[in-house]
Amino acid sequence: MSGTTTQGPQETRIFAPSAAFAAQAAVAGMDAYNALCAEAAADYEGFWARLAKEHLDWQTPFTRTLNEDNAPFYQWFEDGKLNVSYNCLDRNLQNGNADKTAIIFEADDGTATHVSYRQLHEKVCKFANGLKARGIKKGDRVIIYMSMSVEGVAAMQACARIGATHSVVFGGFSAKSLQERIIDAGAVAVITADEQLRGGKRLPLKAIVDEALGLGGCDSVKDVIVYRRTGGDIAFKAGRDLWLHELVDGQSADCEPEWVEAEHPLFILYTSGSTGTPKGVQHASGGYLLWAALTMKWSFDIKPSDVYWCTADIGWVTGHSYIAYGPTAVGATQVVFEGIPTYPHAGRFWETVAKHKVSIFYTAPTAIRSLIKASDVDPKVHPKNFDLSSLRLLGSVGEPINPEAWMWYYTQVGGEKCPIVDTFWQTETGGHMITPLPGATPMVPGSCTLPLPGIMTAIVDESGQDVPNGQGGILVVKRPWPSMIRTIWNNPERFKTSYFPEELGGKMYLAGDGAIRNKDTGYFTITGRIDDVLNVSGHRMGTMEIESALVANPLVAEAAVVGKPDDTTGESICAFVVLKQARPTGDEAKKLALELRNWVAKEIGPIAKPKEIRFGDNLPKTRSGKIMRRLLRVLAKGESITQDVSTLENPAILEQLKETS
């Protein structure tokens, strides 16, 4: 474990929430926050039991809150039964929200459609009955490979309703990545769309599913269910493929929910780690939904009158917790956006906020940074040209937000009146972990501030000992929490070694990030991953995966991939490649770099394309043959090497790898 920093955050600006915001907030002031923390500290299980009873509807109440007998395979609320879709939909029909808008679908072309809770419930019930009619049942796995749509959310909810475990695969992943996930999950069905519309372009989905299934090994898949989005021309395989509208036609609008145990796997979501293939992060039903719902109230201060908008895609965990499940569980009205931030112009986010009177807006720092740049180039797309007076809270997620981007977000978008919640969390944590509470915590740009009540985060050294504030270390969570990852699908051993390593005593959750706490405030600042995971535009990727993709190309002998700081995307991918043929230069190098970038797009997906490829005769290696990635990181940044290179077998190679060929 390396890469932790001992540099303290220098930021001294501090912004307290306004008195007006604090007065109406769910957690109003630091005293209220401290009281919740004290309650958790005094009676940890009692605290979570109270919240689980207050915020979820149980068909069978639980009597045991936490079972630690088989740690780190923790179980929460294990003898309780519930249904996630019942909690997200039926509850809203009973509590007066039936005609409230659940989803405002903002299509790529600017068309908006309102779907009420009653309509969403009906859609989900028909969908669920359709799945049942195909023989899909509790415990089956279903892959969802869809664009942003009401149907995408409904597909997830329909699986939850019948107790099928879904695994959503981001629509930007390649056929090969999709095939790997289908095989690992042992999926019985794939739900997809004919095509997706993004930025005015039609992009294939069904064709990629066909390709994935054609790669072989996917015999478990019996059905491919296709939502007609564009009406584009697609191939149909008789007996396997069916249209969603035909599947739901004539189905009953009622579907008795399948009551499942709290620990029943709601979903598997694949994410990257430092080694090997992507890991299928498995989440439970009860604990997960509790935290998705509760953080909507605590972190976002959601109120019945809010219009909430999270710009994430349902293919990522943010789209699970903060689109498909959290907002519906609390009966919110939310915008679901099909498009991209720069189409038809880079003011699209602000125009849409004004159009739907969005009051809570949640996006990623990479989007903010690219929109800052765009409005420098074209002042017409600057937020000041749009009526953003409806906004009352802003959120950030997915990567560290640099103080300049934070200040722009705060002043130019939020008009200095909206608190910003910089929410630190992960696919594995299920929901927010460290974040300001908008009516309580004084904010410091670039710091995610303090853990949520009940979340026992700490910073330790490599032997698991606490480090003092002001000294960087490894971020851990010392107690299990309800929405935590339950295991890695098909690989419980990997779950243990990845997240509960013996070096740290086997009981602390290892987040994989470095962090530091401010000496005076105790505030947390995340200093970045301590493993070989990159964060490009808020998308998580393992360097190993990209290296494996590159060496799978017949031209490539060896490859090493590192991250390079990037003004817009946070990090960018820089690949050092040794070919089987002589090292190319000039136009030949350009041509081959393009070929390899496209190759990676085909192997993993366009998000994994290296931004830069440098060719060498070799890679810097120790005498024992280990690639010195540390030096490659320095070279990628364009800095000169000041480290000791005496252990290097071939120091001359550094000169060659300094620049793009």
Cβ of residue 428: shortest distance to ligand WTA, in angstroms?
Answer: 7
Q: Among 184, 313, 399, 531, which residue interacts with ligand WTA (rule: CB under 6 A)?
A: 399
C-beta atoms surrounding 385 within 10 Å: 14
Residue closest to 360 by CA, chosen among 411, 305, 313: 305
Cβ of residue 317: shortest distance to ligand WTA, in angstroms?
Answer: 5
Q: How far apart are CA 383 and CA 513, in angstroms?
A: 33
Which residues 520-549 are close enough to bind ligand WTA by CB under 6 A? 526, 529, 535, 540
Helix (H, G, I), strand (E, B) or coil at 141: strand
User: Whose Cβ is closer to ligand WTA: residue 115's or residue 368's?
Assistant: 368
Neighbouring residues of 520: CB distance < 8 A, sequence distance ≥ 6: none
Write the DSSP assignment of 333-385 as a string of letters. EEEEE-S-TTSS-TTHHHHHHHHHT-SEEEE-HHHHHHHHHHHHH-GGGSGGG
C-alpha dihedral, 250 to 254 to 258 to 263, nearest 10°: 110
C-beta atoms surrounding 411 within 10 Å: 11
Which residues 470-529 are close enough to bind ligand WTA by CB under 6 A? 511-513, 526, 529
Residue closest to 365 by CA, chosen among 424, 442, 315: 424
Residues 525/6, Cβ–Cβ less than 8 Å: no
The answer to whether 317 contacts ligand WTA (rule: CB under 6 A) is yes
Residue closest to 331 by CA, chosen among 306, 309, 312, 314: 306
Residues 438/413, Cβ–Cβ less than 8 Å: no
- Residue numbers in the known binding site for CoA are 198-201, 318, 537
User: Whose Cβ is closer to ligand WTA: residue 396's or residue 661's?
Assistant: 396
Cβ of residue 448: shortest distance to ligand WTA, in angstroms?
Answer: 5
- Residue numbers in the known binding site for Mg(2+) are 551, 556
Helix (H, G, I), strand (E, B) or coil at 308: strand
User: Whose Cβ is closer to ligand WTA: residue 309's or residue 425's?
Assistant: 425
Helix (H, G, I), strand (E, B) or coil at 229: coil
Cβ of residue 489: shortest distance to ligand WTA, in angstroms?
Answer: 16
Q: Among 287, 383, 400, 453, which residue interacts with ligand WTA (rule: CB under 6 A)?
A: 400
Place of tokens 């991953």: 529
Query: Before 327, cis peptide (omega within 30)?
Result: no
The answer to whether 185 contacts ligand WTA (rule: CB under 6 A) is no
User: Whose Cβ is closer to ligand WTA: residue 197's or residue 561's?
Assistant: 561
The answer to whether 430 contacts ligand WTA (rule: CB under 6 A) is no
Tokens of 584: 């190319």
Cβ of residue 92: shortest distance to ligand WTA, in angstroms?
Answer: 26
Total residues contacting ligand WTA by CB under 6 A comes to 22
Strand-pair partners of 363: 396
Q: Among 85, 427, 449, 553, which residue interacts with ligand WTA (rule: CB under 6 A)?
A: 427
411: DSSP letter: I
Kindly provide the b/e burial profile for residues 426-455, where b requires at least 16 CB atoms within 10 angstroms of the residue's own CB.
bbbbbbbbbbbbbbbbebbbbbbbbbbbbb
With vertex at residue 394, the alpha carbon angle to CA 388 and CA 395, rounded to the nearest 5 degrees, is 145
Place of tokens 């997915």: 398
Give the max Cα distance, the chain: 74
User: Whose Cβ is closer to ligand WTA: residue 318's or residue 375's?
Assistant: 318
Which residues 100-159 are close enough to bind ligand WTA by CB under 6 A? none
User: Whose Cβ is closer to ligand WTA: residue 511's or residue 613's?
Assistant: 511
User: Whose Cβ is closer to ligand WTA: residue 448's or residue 450's?
Assistant: 448
Q: How far apart are CA 444 and CA 570, in angstroms?
A: 19
The answer to whether 315 contacts ligand WTA (rule: CB under 6 A) is no
Q: Interface with ligand WTA by CB under 6 A: which range of 251-259, 346-354, 422-430, 635-643?
A: 422-430
Tokens of 121: 């419930």
Place of tokens 């999270």: 310
The answer to whether 241 contacts ligand WTA (rule: CB under 6 A) is no
- Residue numbers in the known binding site for ATP are 398-400, 422-427, 513, 529, 540
The answer to whether 318 contacts ligand WTA (rule: CB under 6 A) is yes
Q: Among 52, 397, 504, 589, which residue interacts with ligand WTA (rule: CB under 6 A)?
A: 397
Which residues 253-282 are close enough to bind ligand WTA by CB under 6 A? 271
Cβ of residue 225: shortest distance to ligand WTA, in angstroms?
Answer: 27
Cβ of residue 528: shortest distance to ligand WTA, in angstroms?
Answer: 6
User: Whose Cβ is closer to ligand WTA: residue 148's or residue 593's?
Assistant: 148
Q: Among 227, 270, 291, 424, which residue interacts with ligand WTA (rule: CB under 6 A)?
A: 424
Q: Interface with ligand WTA by CB under 6 A: which range of 1-9, 396-404, 466-474, 626-634?
A: 396-404
From residue 590 to residue 619, the character string flagging contacts with ligand WTA as x (rule: CB under 6 A) and all else as - is: ------------------------------
Q: Among 359, 423, 483, 572, which residue interacts with ligand WTA (rule: CB under 6 A)?
A: 423
Q: How far apart are CA 639 and CA 629, in angstroms?
A: 14
Going 220 to 221 to 223 to 225, the CA torsion angle's sign is positive
User: Whose Cβ is closer to ligand WTA: residue 151's or residue 184's?
Assistant: 184
Residue closest to 637 by CA, chosen among 572, 592, 588: 572
User: Whose Cβ is closer to ligand WTA: residue 146's or residue 420's?
Assistant: 420
C-beta nearest to ligand WTA: residue: 427
The answer to whether 425 contacts ligand WTA (rule: CB under 6 A) is yes
**CB-based burial label for 290 (10 Å; 0-12, 13-18, 19+):** buried
Q: Among 80, 287, 395, 398, which residue interacts with ligand WTA (rule: CB under 6 A)?
A: 398
**CB-based burial label for 397 (10 Å; 0-12, 13-18, 19+):** buried
- Residue numbers in the known binding site are 198-201, 318, 398-400, 422-427, 513, 529, 537, 540, 551, 556
Which residues 72-91 are close enough to bind ligand WTA by CB under 6 A? none
User: Whose Cβ is closer to ligand WTA: residue 329's or residue 474's?
Assistant: 474
Q: Interface with ligand WTA by CB under 6 A: which range of 217-225, 315-323, 487-495, 501-509?
A: 315-323
Cβ of residue 397: shortest distance to ligand WTA, in angstroms?
Answer: 5
User: Whose Cβ is closer to ligand WTA: residue 349's or residue 509's?
Assistant: 509
Per CB under 6 A, residues contacting ligand WTA are: 271, 316-318, 397-400, 422-427, 448, 511-513, 526, 529, 535, 540
